[in-house]
Structure 1
Amino acid sequence: EQSPNDPDAMLLISIDAAGKAKLGESELSDDFDAMVEAIKANKKIEADGRVAIEADPKVPYGRVIQVMSAAHRAGVPSVGLASNRL
């Protein structure tokens, strides 16, 4: 579980079953360029240089790739995938 008070916690982009992406608590636009700008503007990502993406299993693969591409286009050097272990 990501704690907003933990400075070492990696920021998470979550994608729900409907395909809606959130950066932390902020919903990201479905528009690719707007998503890139929102990721670029995030100070924690700028400082850390990394972000993790966590997607609901029902999310189409293409949507995950779109969000990963937006993070790379925003200049994030390290984009990872988060998973929930059973």
Structure 2
Amino acid sequence: MAFGRLERTKGEPPMSDINVTPLVDVMLVLVVIFIITAPLLASSIRLDLPRAEGTQPGDAPRFVTVVLDRTGQAFFNDQPVDAAGLESRLGAAAKENPETEIQLRADQTVPYGRVVEVMGLAHKAGLSRIGFVAEPAK
């Protein structure tokens, strides 16, 4: 140590790396904002479409209802039918439109075999779209 001079201790050198944590935070906030606002921007386009005589709105999908009550009795569009009548009505619905959907409503006490029989009649008639209707849980 020299007279009149103070020794300096070496401190930490300055950091030359960029801290990316704040950058990532800002980018994630921007991504969330874009995710939320993108659907709002896409649906805000308003069009005044031309009108034409020949255009028809699309037909709603056609469906028939088949109901099985507690006793296993079948109903086709709320009219009681036997097995032969159900098969003929399903065949007629399939001839009219093969994409007709069957909405099957069966009581919970109906045996599974009876439900499978009705499904087999529908498949035999040429209808493959079957929807099972149930009530939502409480």
Q: Same fold (TM over 0.5)?
A: yes
The partner residue of 1:76 within 114, 127, 131 is 127
Query: Does the alignment pair 1:46 with 2:93?
Result: no
Structure scoring higher RCO (CA < 8 A, sep ≥ 6) equals 1
Q: Give ranges in structure 2 of 5+ residues lacking alignment.
A: 1-59
**Is the 2:61–2:100 Cα contact (8 Å) retained in structure 1?**
no
Larger radius of gyration: 2
Correspondences of 1:6-17 after superposition (within 5 Å): 8=61, 10-17=63-70
The partner residue of 1:25 within 75, 78, 94 is 78
User: Alignment length, in residue pairs?
Assistant: 77
Tell me the secondary structure at the aligned position of residue 75 of structure 2: strand
The TM-score normalised by the length of structure 2 is 0.48
Identity %: 26
Tell me the secondary structure at the aligned position of residue 12 of structure 1: strand
Structure whose residues are more often strand by fraction: 1
Instruction: Extract structure 1 runs of 4+ deviating beyond 6 A.
Output: none
Q: Give ranges in structure 1 of 5+ residues lacking alignment.
A: 1-6
User: By how many angstroms is 1:25 displaced?
Assistant: 1.9
